[in-house]
């Protein structure tokens, strides 16, 4: 995300200067999006999930600018889009703009910290879930809350998905830091519930003060995907744009050091597919698979993860990107 690096005023935890800067930064946001796409491509990525700010200041401008960038790059890059209420659903009246965005070709209705921002888990989640149902979209809820409200939000979402099975397999929790704060028995319980509800987790693989239970989630059939929440922005400067680097980080954090264990970490970079399944059977590539391929200078998956092997070539839907 781009914007001013000075934050002179704050209101309810949000920087007032951010909204003031939206109009200015939007002027070249299409160009910035295209440059970011090129960075991702250089790291072997030809498809991404992107969260687009939807709020009263810029309304749907960010969505339109990103769609233009994607159109310009369509032969070498694809994306699924999340309508993301960066400033809350009700705290700033984003409801009409989310409803408008939901009628476009976006893929997910987003959300962020319903309790700490909007002050109500149920009201915010009920609106968000219903909007997704009414428009046949998925859900992607960013949850940074790591206390009681975070756990209640996870449990509430699990219940809503179980009540509406059409949302299974198309609902995600991004970050979900609360899972890293739970005792191991509770982590196991929540992993089982998330797996049964087919709710995925999207993680940046945080480490240091918070370790997410990624192996436990994977063992319970929770789809885990990794990504860069930040490249160079207000939150941190450590993002590289490489999901292979995220898989390498996960292997180090969770002690996945054997050839087999390293090869399984590739799932985090590919959102699931690996050349061999857990029993060694070939599952990719096969005739009929989409021609989306990254060529790395590595002898095997384990080496690619361990050494963060360089990307030599990228093909997207049969088109040679480089």
| Gap between the Cα atoms of 123 and 92, Å rounded | 14
Calculate the CA dihedral of residues 268, 170, 66, 246 and round it to 10 degrees. Answer: -10
Q: Among the listed ranges 153-167, 187-201, 206-220, which one has the minimum average pLDDT value?
A: 206-220
Ranges of each domain in the chain: 25-241
Mean pLDDT of the chain: 93
CA distances from 174 to 210, 225, 229 (A): 15, 9, 10
Kindly state the greatest CA–CA separation across the chain: 57
Q: Which of 121, 48, 46, 59 is nearest to 86 (CA)?
A: 59
Does the pLDDT at position 206 exceed 50?
yes
CA distances for 270 relative to 91, 158, 175, 212, 243, angstroms: 36, 25, 18, 19, 8
Residue 10 reports pLDDT greater than 60: no
Which whole number is the average pLDDT over 19-40? Answer: 82
pLDDT tens per residue, range 115-170: 999 999 999 999 999 999 999 999 999 999 999 999 999 999 999 999 999 999 99
Residue 288: CB partners within 8 Å, gap ≥ 6?
none
d(CA 219, CA 122): 30
Percentage of the chain surpassing pLDDT 90? 86
pTM of the model: 0.91
Query: CA–CA distance from 309 to each of 21, 166, 312 (Å)?
Result: 38, 39, 9
For range 249-267, the mean pLDDT:
98
Distance of CA 267 to the CA centre of its chain: 15
What pLDDT sits at residue 252? 98
**What is the band of 229 on the pLDDT scale with cuts at 50, 70, 90?**
confident
- Give the rounded distance of the alpha carbon of 233 from its chain centre: 17
- Residue 310 is given by DSSP the state P
Backbone angles phi, psi at 111, to 5 degrees: -160, 165
If pLDDT is split at 50, 70 and 90, which confidence band does 26 have? low
200 to 64, 220, 268: CA distances (angstroms): 27, 11, 12
Q: Which segments of the chain does DSSP mark as H helices, in order?
A: 16-26, 29-42, 61-72, 95-102, 121-134, 148-163, 184-196, 214-219, 243-253, 259-264, 266-270, 301-307
Indicate if the pLDDT at residue 17 is higher than 90: no
CA-based torsion, 66, 68, 70, 72: positive or negative: negative
Q: CA 287, CA 306: separation in Å to the nearest integer?
A: 29
150 φψ region: left (φ > 0), alpha (ψ -120 to 50), beta (else): alpha
Q: How confident is the model at residue 21 (pLDDT cuts 50, 70, 90)?
A: low
Higher pLDDT, 158 or 5: 158
Mean of pLDDT values over 268-286: 95
Task: Check pLDDT > 60 for residue 1.
Answer: no
Phi, psi of 141 (to 5 degrees): -105, 120
pLDDT band at 234 (very low <50, low <70, confident <90, very high): confident
User: In percent, how much of the chain has pLDDT > 70?
Assistant: 92
pLDDT one-digit tens code per residue, 79-108: 999 999 999 999 999 999 999 999 999 999
| CATH of the domain spanning 25-241, picked from 3.50.50.60, 3.20.20.140, 3.30.930.10, 3.40.50.280 | 3.20.20.140
Q: At which residue do the structure tokens 């987790």 appear?
A: 201
- Is residue 10 within 8 Å of 16, Cβ to Cβ? yes
Q: What is residue 50's predicted lDDT score, i.e. its pLDDT?
A: 97
Summarised one tens digit per residue, pLDDT across range 43-90 is: 999 999 999 999 999 999 999 999 999 999 999 999 999 999 999 999
d(C-alpha 117, C-alpha 123), whole Å: 12
């Amino acid at each position: 995300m781009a914007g001013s690096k000075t934050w002179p005023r704050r209101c309810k935890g949000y920087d007032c200067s951010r909204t003031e800067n939206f109009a200015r930064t939007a002027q070249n946001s299409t160009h910035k999006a295209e440059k970011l796409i090129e960075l991702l491509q250089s790291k072997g990525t030809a498809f991404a999930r992107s969260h687009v700010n939807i709020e009263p200041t810029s309304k749907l401008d960010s969505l339109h600018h990103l769609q233009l960038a994607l159109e310009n790059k369509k032969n070498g890059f694809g994306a699924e889009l999340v309508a993301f209420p960066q400033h809350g659903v009700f705290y700033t009246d984003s409801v009409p703009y989310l409803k408008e965005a939901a009628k476009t070709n976006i893929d997910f209705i987003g959300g962020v910290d319903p309790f700490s921002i909007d002050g109500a888990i149920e009201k915010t989640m009920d609106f968000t879930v219903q909007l997704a149902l009414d428009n046949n979209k998925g859900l992607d809820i960013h949850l940074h809350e790591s206390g009681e409200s975070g756990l209640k939000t996870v449990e509430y979402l699990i219940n809503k998905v179980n009540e509406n099975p059409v949302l299974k397999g198309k609902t995600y929790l991004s970050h979900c830091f609360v899972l890293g704060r739970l005792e191991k028995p509770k982590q196991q319980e929540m992993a089982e519930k998330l797996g049964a509800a087919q709710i995925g987790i999207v993680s940046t693989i945080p480490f240091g003060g918070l370790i997410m239970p990624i192996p436990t989630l994977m063992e319970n059939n929770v789809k885990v995907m990794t990504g860069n929440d930040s490249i160079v922005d207000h939150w941190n400067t450590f993002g590289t744009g490489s999901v292979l680097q995220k898989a390498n980080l996960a292997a180090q954090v969770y002690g996945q050091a054997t050839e087999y264990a390293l090869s399984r970490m590739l799932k985090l970079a590919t959102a699931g597919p690996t050349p061999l399944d857990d029993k060694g059977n070939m599952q990719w590539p096969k005739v009929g698979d989409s021609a989306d391929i990254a060529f790395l200078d590595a002898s095997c998956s384990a080496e690619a993860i361990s050494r963060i092997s360089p990307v030599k070539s990228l093909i997207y839907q049969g088109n040679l990107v480089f």
